[in-house]
Amino acid sequence: MTARALIVDVDGTLAETEDLHRRAFNRAFKEAGIGWVWSRELYVCLLQVTGGKERIRAYAEETATANIDAPALHLRKTEFYSGFMAPGALHLRPGVERLIRKARYDGLELAIATTTSRANIVSLFAATMGADTLRWFGSIRSGEDVQRKKPDPEVFQRVLEDLDVPAADCIVFEDSENGLRAAKALALPTVVMPSIYTVDHDFSDADLVVRTIDEPFSMHELMPDRSVSEILDKMRGLLFRQFA
């Protein structure tokens, strides 16, 4: 059985964007006169809360910081992030562009299911493959389109409705436990590529775990109890055929 649709997350999956987000948060905090500095170690924990505004609110509550305007602060953070995202400032993870182009060439529907903002999606594509390539995607659903963010499956449900494709005929690419849980709530076949911030997450429910798209055989290290023959046919065709 071949796949009919490719659904991708954005931050951490398409590119290692999370540290750029962290820097943008810290710049916004400094400008606002808030004495917060999110270190890499702290940000690993904060990423358990999906959504930037939600992350700000959660940290304000945790630190008992009053008078935090999370929407305004997050808007300014997004502006800083977009400013950081100049062409060449960041690269897509190995194999991502090839995968997207191959899926399009093979006639698969393309979709994005993410908790980040639409502005951040545009910024990333403008700095990498080009903003015009977003026209290739039949569905782009962001955190602005849902009431409940991952691990709730709402964003994936909206994408499936847009594409009118059964979950079983899709392949999802994710980098986080929350993303995997959201996808699996709808029985979506899911490939996980852990990012620098999610390497310690629990990916035991994933259909396939690899370091990058260009390293499919890294599954032997990351999933030692599984063999290539046990991987879904649609995933083998998309990821392993290049090495046949």
Q: Which are the contacts of 170, defined by CB distance < 8 A and separation ≥ 6?
A: 3, 4, 5, 6, 7, 160, 163, 188, 189
* Domain final position from 84, 112, 133: 84
Beta bridge partners of 173: 8, 191
Q: Are residues 70 and 163 in the same domain?
A: no
Q: Are residues 104 and 222 in the same domain?
A: yes
pTM of the model: 0.93
Q: Are residues 100 and 38 in the same domain?
A: no
| Per-position pLDDT tens, the chain of length 244 | 689 999 999 999 999 999 999 999 999 999 999 999 999 999 999 999 999 999 999 999 999 999 999 999 999 999 999 999 988 889 999 999 999 999 999 999 999 999 999 999 999 999 999 999 999 999 999 999 999 999 999 999 999 999 999 999 999 999 999 999 999 999 999 999 999 999 999 999 999 999 999 999 999 999 999 888 888 888 888 888 665 4
User: Given the structure tokens 């798209």, which residue do they identify?
Assistant: 213
Q: Are residues 69 and 115 in the same domain?
A: no
Question: CA-to-CA distance for 191 and 210, rounded, in angstroms?
Answer: 8
Continuous H helices in the chain: 18-31, 40-46, 52-62, 70-84, 96-105, 118-127, 154-163, 177-184, 219-222, 233-239
Q: Are residues 77 and 94 in the same domain?
A: no
DSSP E strands in 107-224: the ranges are 109-113, 139-141, 170-174, 190-192, 208-209
Tell me the HSE value of 66 on the side-chain side, using a 13 A CA sphere: 0
Question: CA-to-CA distance for 38 and 106, rounded, in angstroms?
Answer: 42
Average pLDDT, the chain: 95
The range of the structural domain enclosing residue 38 comes to 18-84
| Candidates 9, 169, 175, 207; catalytic one | 9
* Domain final position from 58, 84, 110: 84
Q: Are residues 125 and 9 in the same domain?
A: yes
Here the tokens at position 137 are: 């995607």
Identify whether 169 is a catalytic site residue: no
| Candidates 11, 169, 175, 207; catalytic one | 11
Q: Are residues 11 and 22 in the same domain?
A: no
Q: Are residues 55 and 148 in the same domain?
A: no
Q: How many domains, in total, are found in the chain? A: 2
Strand order in the sheet with 109-113: 139-141, 109-113, 5-8, 170-174, 190-192, 208-209
pLDDT at residue 87, rounded to an integer:
84
Q: Are residues 52 and 135 in the same domain?
A: no
pLDDT at residue 138, rounded to an integer:
98
Q: Are residues 10 and 28 in the same domain?
A: no
Q: Are residues 49 and 10 in the same domain?
A: no
Here the tokens at position 21 are: 């987000």
Q: Among residues 37, 21, 121, 135, which one has the least CA distance to residue 77? A: 21
Identify whether 207 is a catalytic site residue: no
Q: Are residues 160 and 138 in the same domain?
A: yes
CATH for 41: 1.10.150.240
| Torsion sign, CA atoms 142, 110, 215, 152 | positive
